[in-house]
Amino acid sequence: MIRRSYIVIFLTLVYAVLWIGGVLTHLLEWKNTNYQLVFASLFLWTAAILSLSGRLSVGNVVKVLSAALLAYVAEIIGVTTGVIFGTYYYNESFGDKLFGVPLVIFAAWLILFTYVQHVVSTFQLPHLIKALCGALWMVAIDMIIDPVCVGIIQFWSWKETGAYYDIPFSNFVGWFVVSLVMFLMFPLPFFKQVSSHLVGFTLILFFTSLAATAYPIAAVVGIVLMIADVIFLQKEWQHYYKTLHHSLRKVLAN
């Protein structure tokens, strides 16, 4: 049987290659929408699997999957009725769909939910305040993702516009409400998942890199979020550094 650690290493390498490839594709202006959408789906599914690659209890896995499913259902309602987020539709090439919503959107919500859960679990605050912080963090992430996915990658399109890069304000209200419900219904008070943290952080870095050339406000939001992450989780980043430094010393010694 293939060792679990080997699978995680393999998926990490795949994720890294797709991450670098995505940034280079944008910087070098390689245009092939169909290939971009296929690789984007693979990128997000790989990231989602990595987010759950740690030692999670069955109960926590059920909560994470349930939260992502709730968000996916909200997307279906949103696409079908225009309620919650506003009126929008997904690109026809963006993978298999269920009621107009690509299945990979489930993976995207899962990644963000586990990442933000990891961040807010470090806050010594009441559950309601943590949920509010988590919902605001999710909205800030969408302020980076949405302009890039609409204007650069063209994953979806809005039928109405707004002041923030032509994205309607209703979208951010919808993100806040859905995220708040997720954090209230599926709390993970002691959720510490290194893989979820690093995948989420690098995903923000990815979209911030893409936003930098066309959407400066979104890029600034991304930079602020990453700085906040490092500040709030300073001890964890110090641990990552020490672990990496120790591993490199062992490799060089051999």
Q: Which residues contact 245 (CB under 8 A, 6 or more apart)?
A: none
**8 A C-beta contact, residue 217 and residue 146:** no
Range of 116's domain? 4-253
Which pLDDT score, from 0 to 100, does residue 35 have? 66
The count of structural domains within the chain is: 1
| b/e code 183-202 from CB counts within 10 Å (16+ = b) | beebbbeebebebbbbbbbb
Higher pLDDT pick, 92 / 174: 174
Q: Cα dist. 75→34, 38, 112, 236 in Å?
A: 23, 20, 15, 33
Band (19; pLDDT cuts 50, 70, 90): confident
**8 A C-beta contact, residue 122 and residue 206:** no
Summarize pLDDT for 236-245 with one digit per residue, the tens: 888 888 877 6
pLDDT for 16 beyond 60: yes
pTM: 0.91
Summarize pLDDT for 55-69 with one digit per residue, the tens: 777 888 899 999 999
What is the mean pLDDT of the segment spanning 183-212?
A: 88
Which pLDDT score, from 0 to 100, does residue 33 have? 60
**Pairwise CA distance, residues 87 & 160, whole Å:** 7
**What SS3 state is found at 97?**
strand
Tokens at 228, concatenated: 């906040």
Which pLDDT score, from 0 to 100, does residue 141 have? 98
Which pLDDT score, from 0 to 100, does residue 116 have? 96
Which pLDDT score, from 0 to 100, does residue 97 have? 86
pLDDT for 24 beyond 90: no
Task: Please list the residues that pair with 90 across neighbouring strands.
Answer: 156
Which pLDDT score, from 0 to 100, does residue 34 have? 62
Which pLDDT score, from 0 to 100, does residue 251 have? 66
What is the mean pLDDT of the segment spanning 185-214?
A: 87
Residue 57 φ then ψ, to 5°: -75, 160
**What SS3 state is found at 117?**
helix
Band (1; pLDDT cuts 50, 70, 90): very low
